[in-house]
Amino acid sequence: MPLIKRLAHLLVSPVLALSLALPATAADLASFKDRLFAYPAILSQADGGDYVVVDYKEARDIDARDEVPERRVKSDYVALGVRKVQKDLVLPTPAGEIKHVAVGRSEDAKIITIYLHGQGGSRKQGVDDFTFGGNFNRIKNLMAQNDGLYLSPDFSDFGDGGAAEIAALIDHYAGTSPGAKLFIACGSMGGGLCWKLAADKAVTGRLSGLILLGSHWDDGFLSTPAFKRKVPVFFGQGSKDKVFPVEKQETFYRSIRRKSPGYPTRFVRFETGTHGTPIRMTDWRETLNWMLSVR
């Protein structure tokens, strides 16, 4: 490579390099603290930019980012005014009463994002402003500032009962915002609900994307209505995840690509990251904008 071109290549920032791989869309979410939440460095890319290895360092991404490591992020990373549009609610449904926190527009929302917690979590995890590096505060603000709705519910289990409850929650809020794009993000064991909802025709007819954060795989997805509709799927995984090994999730990601070439799926591997790293480090705005661009 000629010297001038090589220097130009090196001057392209990792964030810009990743954004260049993504198609533009008129439906982009307005930015919110993008510089603070951008991936710190891109180590490598493959699959036309769909597979990305992100540099992760605990000393930088936890110790230097948090006021109290893993408990309280520095104030620069949060905007607490969003609490004014946050409500702790109980929704009666045929599947039972569903406790949930709603942030933003409960009617006529343009976009709905639902976070489903993992084992030992609750609806409170998904709206905690200060843990996970302030990333939940960011998604709350992104939804509130873009005429959207963010939901963090409780549910009874990670099986059929929990899936029925979340389907009922979706039915209610999709009814009050019939034109909204719907995204479901699942952390860790919450992925079991993502995969079950992908098999529900009523849900997948409204679904615009699945986001798996430090979660697991399900080969049954390849025969679901969501797969047939080519609903975008994002995987974020730490390379040192001891709960759900990254190699198995990568194998599943590649099985989707083999089964359906061109399927809209992306994989972000956080190098040296552990089980909770994707919840802390995934760039919500970039991920949702990508999904909006392909739906």
User: pLDDT per residue over 74-86, tens digit each?
Assistant: 999 999 999 999 9
What pLDDT does 138 receive?
98
Task: Please indicate, yes or no, if residue 149 is contained in any of the structural domains.
Answer: yes
Task: Please indicate, yes or no, if residue 109 is contained in any of the structural domains.
Answer: yes
Task: Please indicate, yes or no, if residue 8 is contained in any of the structural domains.
Answer: no
Tell me the average pLDDT of the chain: 92
- Residue 1 one-letter amino acid: M
The model's confidence at residue 130, banded by pLDDT at 50, 70 and 90, is very high
Q: Per mean pLDDT, which range of 12-21, 103-112, 237-246, 275-284 is the poorest?
A: 12-21
The more confidently predicted of residues 108 and 16 is 108
The answer to whether residue 13 scores a pLDDT higher than 50 is no
Task: Please indicate, yes or no, if residue 199 is contained in any of the structural domains.
Answer: yes
Instruction: Check: CB of residue 264 under 8 Å from CB of residue 233.
Output: yes
Task: Please indicate, yes or no, if residue 4 is contained in any of the structural domains.
Answer: no
The model's confidence at residue 295, banded by pLDDT at 50, 70 and 90, is confident
pTM: predicted TM-score of the whole model, two decimal places: 0.91
Task: Please indicate, yes or no, if residue 43 is contained in any of the structural domains.
Answer: yes
What pLDDT does 27 receive?
64
Task: Please indicate, yes or no, if residue 13 is contained in any of the structural domains.
Answer: no
The answer to whether residue 163 scores a pLDDT higher than 70 is yes
The answer to whether residue 135 scores a pLDDT higher than 50 is yes
What is the residue range of 49's domain?
A: 23-294
Give me the CATH number covering residue 172. 3.40.50.1820
* Domains identified in the chain, total number: 1
Q: Give the 3-state DSSP-derived string for the chain, with helices as H, strands as E and coil as C.
A: CCHHHHHHHHHCCHHHHHHHCCCCCCCCCCCCCHHHHCCCCEEEEEHHHCEEEEECCHHHHHHCCEEECCCEECHHHCCHHHHHHEEEEEEEECCEEEEEEEEECCCCCCEEEEEECCCCCCCCHHHCCCCHHHHHHHHHHHHHHCCEEEEEECCCCCCHHHHHHHHHHHHHHHHHCCCCEEEEEEEHHHHHHHHHHHCCHHHHCCEEEEEEECCCCCHHHHHCHHHHCCCCEEEEEECCCCCCCHHHHHHHHHHHHHHCCCCCEEEEEEECCCCCHHHHHCCHHHHHHHHHHHC
User: pLDDT per residue over 15-51, tens digit each?
Assistant: 434 443 333 334 699 999 999 999 999 999 999 999 9
Task: Please indicate, yes or no, if residue 82 is contained in any of the structural domains.
Answer: yes
